[in-house]
Structure 1
Amino acid sequence: MTKIVITVGPNTSTPESWRQIIDSGADAFRFPASKFGVDVLTDQAWSVAKEADGLGAKLDLLLDLPGSKTRLTNDNGFPLDPQRPVRVAFSPEEADPRLDPPRLGISGGGLDEVAVGDVLVTGDGEEALAVEAVADDHCIARPLTSGELGRRRGVTVSGRSNASESLTAGDREGLETLGAAPFTGVIVSFVESAKTVREVKESLARSFGNRPPPAVIAKVETAAGIGAIQEILDESDGVLLGRGDLLLDVGPIEFYDACRSVLKAADKQGVPAIVGTQLLVSLSNTWLPNRSELAYVSHLIEKRVHGLMLSTETTVGKHPTRTVAMLSSLIERYGAESGRLPLFRAS
């Protein structure tokens, strides 16, 4: 049966919210380390585990290591207005929408080769800015959309390959400290070779000693990762299809084929596959989900995908519990016992 993976965020950060989410059908909690340290997430995972034990529920607790990704520096919402070009510094300068022009910085590098005419795309493609001028340490970009940038969104150059470093120094340091953590799985971002998976497994083996280490889930989200999918599957305990960054890397026309190739390869090899994200994101603001979301999610369930991962729906969405309940009902209606092992947690 397809499992539900929820991402912990502001709207799912209290024991009451965890209990409601678990009661609604969640099978796994994902803790993203892109905005918080591994030590903070470990404490939170222990708290979630305690609530799950009280309910008699067995949860997978998944730590998501972010890898290297270019991110904007705004700690709060940042308004975009096509009438107001934005100064984007190529360094981690503090964001300030009150300046003229408004200012954003970046962390992680990666924009120093932009050119006039390039389009900067943020998040999973929600907002975009067109580069109008370039200097040594910044560019001036005009918003092509009206909206509000979420906190520390990723930013990429449209049409350019966005391959990133799978493991940063921070990721490696975090792996060495997991020996006393409750995580049952570690998600590794931007995996493009089996070598990365082996390195993570070796690090976890050192941390856990004689105890079984967490499963290693390779997040495939670039064209290079797609090209190496077979060797990645050979080494991984599971694979996460990271559709957001994959769309930015391969473009909208190649996107479906890229997704299909990962799922077909995983199914053929019997490796658990999770699909994320923005699966029922319309429920964050509407009463009923979009028809296209309903159709695709039901299709994935019918195809016996191992896991479906919610992100925006449970981090900042207005109705996280109702969204999980809706997904649980769809799984009950269209799912079938696959005869495979549970997602990652040992029974």
Structure 2
Amino acid sequence: MAERRTKIIVTYGPAVEAESQLRRVIDAGANAFRLNFSHGTHNEYAQAIARIRAVAAESGVPLALIADLQGPKIRVGDMPAEGVELRKGKTVTLTSRRIKGDGETVPVSFPDLGGVLRQGKKVLLDDGRITLKVLEVQGGDANCRVMMGGLLESRRGVNFPGIDIKAPPISGKDRQDLDFALQAGVDYVALSFISSADDIGMLRSLVESRTERRVRIIAKIENQEAIRNITSIIATADAVMIARGDLGVEIPPERVPYWQKEIIRQCISSARPVITATQMLESMIEDPVPTRAEASDVANAIYDGSDAIMLSGETAIGRYPVRAVNTMHRIARTTEAALSRERTRPGASRASVSDAISHAACEIAESLGAQAILTPTSSGSTALQVSRQRASVPQVALSPEKDVVNQLAIAWGVMPFMINPARDTDDMFEKAIAVTRDNGIAQSGDEIVITAGVPVNVAGTTNLIKVHRLD
């Protein structure tokens, strides 16, 4: 069985909004869709979610939906549709006023420019592609000189490097978007510019007060504060996204590769799915093939151990969204073929019985040459514990919870399936074995390894390993 282990997340946008395009993107290998609530309307996303769910159901593919909340992200306001060219040496005024921008004045979504900017400070626009230097601050406006120019369009990001911005982690807009996303049935909620575990706790309280569903939280790592608090953030979040665009603006870009590897290492150790994102195949927004450096970047993220790799503008607004997914799929398959010969398993943790059982199940499966590792799970915990071992044997997760099946779509190496609730242990084994037969995963004479929890249908009780030879 030659399934791709690293998962692919695509960002939804105009380039894939047609049902035919969604079908092609899913067929090409998409495992999840990110809905970027910095753009678009609730009505547009309601239609998008309905189309994505319908196409996924037709394809029989478990698919995760991720609602990406804007958080305290500062953005450029309305600019002319064609954008404005900011030329090096030119002066431009940043303002908090809600006006239409032009070549002289640029509105930004931050109310206290005068309170945080000072003469000599840098302002970075559009992920650092444009650099301004503050000349003077007058009231709520900042007059700046363009140090590095470029085309500036509406809604592009704004960063104030080295300045601690005190802003609520969840805005009024985020709360409205969260209400909509939960009602629409998303599987994950991602929060931008998290700075501490407390931010995650606040979001989790909001989620739990609005739904009884097990909606998971993704912490986006994008600033220096998150780096300082990374261990507690990983412990508190359900998954982590390394958002390298803003992170590479907020910290020196030469430090991003180190932190990418370190965050991935900690996430694997903690059994938290980790997503590497931003600018992975960015040239494919306009070009049909990636640069060699981009191909190497994708491969390196896989070598590092990413559960999932994400496409942003490539699929949202790019000219070649399906080709971009196909390209990422091919790079992943080729890289994983080399990794299967090189990867070493993390040591068995002594933190819990579940850790030890999951580690042992993978060792047994590989020693026996088993056809698959089966992980019946009610919460997803067993599947994630086994996934973190990065076993060479295919992993099949089985759950009676639709939310869990969808959420496991972004976990490394996991093939999730929906099953009916098991009455007891024997019934659980029968259902798991039936899935392997019905889906061609194993056949008569093959050995499979099953790891699960007893009693059944109780979260967090992984305590059993069974080796079974199919009749």
Instruction: Name the amino acid aligned to 2:202.
Output: E
Normalising by structure 2, we get a TM-score of 0.67
CA contact (8 A) 2:287 2:319 kept: no
Aligned counterparts, 1:89-238, within 5 A: 89-97=95-103, 102-112=104-114, 113-161=116-164, 165-209=168-212, 212-238=213-239
Identity %: 26
Instruction: Name the amino acid aligned to 1:5.
Output: I
Return 37-46 or 71-80, whichever deviates more: 37-46
CA contact (8 A) 1:163 1:224 kept: no
CA contact (8 A) 1:160 1:249 kept: no
Structure 1, unaligned runs of 5 or more: none
**Alpha carbons of structure 1 residues 200 and 39: separation in structure 2 relative to 1, 3 Å:** farther
Partner of 1:52: 56
**Alpha carbons of structure 1 residues 289 and 110: separation in structure 2 relative to 1, 3 Å:** farther
Q: Deviation per CA, 1:123-181, whole angstroms, max 9, x where unpaired?
A: 21122223333321322223333421132111122343457532112222333444431
Does residue 80 of structure 1 match 2:83? no
Partner of 2:352: none
Does residue 21 of structure 1 match 2:25? yes
CA contact (8 A) 2:288 2:323 kept: no
Residue of 11, 15, 26 corresponding to 2:15: 11
Quote the offset at 1:346 in angstroms: 6.1
Total equivalences in the alignment: 341
RMSD: 2.4
SS in 2 for 1:43: helix
Return 172-181 or 120-129, whichever deviates more: 172-181
What is the alpha-carbon distance in structure 1 between the residues aligned to residue 51 and residue 182 of structure 2?
17
What is the alpha-carbon distance in structure 2 between the residues aligned to residue 39 and residue 204 of structure 1?
21
Instruction: Name the amino acid aligned to 2:243.
Output: G
Partner of 1:68: 72
What is the alpha-carbon distance in structure 1 between the residues aligned to residue 28 and residue 273 of structure 2?
23
CA contact (8 A) 1:178 1:204 kept: no
What is the alpha-carbon distance in structure 2 between the residues aligned to residue 110 and residue 36 of structure 1?
26
Does residue 42 of structure 1 match 2:39? no
**Alpha carbons of structure 1 residues 226 and 13: separation in structure 2 relative to 1, 3 Å:** same
What is the alpha-carbon distance in structure 2 between the residues aligned to residue 55 and residue 333 of structure 1?
25
* Structure 1 stretches of at least 4 aligned residues deviating more than 6 Å after TM superposition: none
Partner of 2:283: 282
Instruction: Name the amino acid aligned to 1:94.
Output: K
**Alpha carbons of structure 1 residues 181 and 152: separation in structure 2 relative to 1, 3 Å:** same
CA contact (8 A) 2:9 2:31 kept: yes
Partner of 2:259: 258
Bigger relative contact order (CA 8 A; separation at least 6): 1
The structure with the largest alpha-carbon Rg is: 2
CA contact (8 A) 2:287 2:320 kept: no
CA contact (8 A) 1:73 1:105 kept: yes
**Alpha carbons of structure 1 residues 194 and 118: separation in structure 2 relative to 1, 3 Å:** closer
Q: Deviation per CA, 1:240-290, whole angstroms, max 9, x where unpaired?
A: 111111112122243333323211211211211001110111222334322
Quote the offset at 1:306 in angstroms: 0.5
**Alpha carbons of structure 1 residues 319 and 285: separation in structure 2 relative to 1, 3 Å:** same
What is the alpha-carbon distance in structure 2 between the residues aligned to residue 179 and residue 130 of structure 1?
41
What is the alpha-carbon distance in structure 2 between the residues aligned to residue 242 and residue 16 of structure 1?
29
Partner of 1:249: 250
Instruction: Name the amino acid aligned to 2:32.
Output: A
Q: Deviation per CA, 1:205-253, whole angstroms, max 9, x where unpaired?
A: 23223xx322111111112112222222222211011111111212224
Return 117-126 or 131-140, whichever deviates more: 131-140
Instruction: Name the amino acid aligned to 1:343.
Output: I
CA contact (8 A) 2:217 2:239 kept: yes
**Alpha carbons of structure 1 residues 295 and 135: separation in structure 2 relative to 1, 3 Å:** same
Return 4-13 or 162-171, whichever deviates more: 162-171
What is the alpha-carbon distance in structure 1 between the residues aligned to residue 133 and residue 182 of structure 2?
46
CA contact (8 A) 1:246 1:255 kept: yes
Does residue 343 of structure 1 match 2:347? no
What is the alpha-carbon distance in structure 2 between the residues aligned to residue 175 and residue 32 of structure 1?
12
**Alpha carbons of structure 1 residues 255 and 70: separation in structure 2 relative to 1, 3 Å:** same
Aligned counterparts, 1:256-335, within 5 A: 256-335=257-336
CA contact (8 A) 1:281 1:312 kept: yes
Instruction: Name the amino acid aligned to 2:313.
Output: T
Structure 2, unaligned runs of 5 or more: 341-386, 396-407, 418-471
Instruction: Name the amino acid aligned to 1:152.
Output: R
CA contact (8 A) 2:281 2:314 kept: yes
Quote the offset at 1:27 in angstroms: 1.0
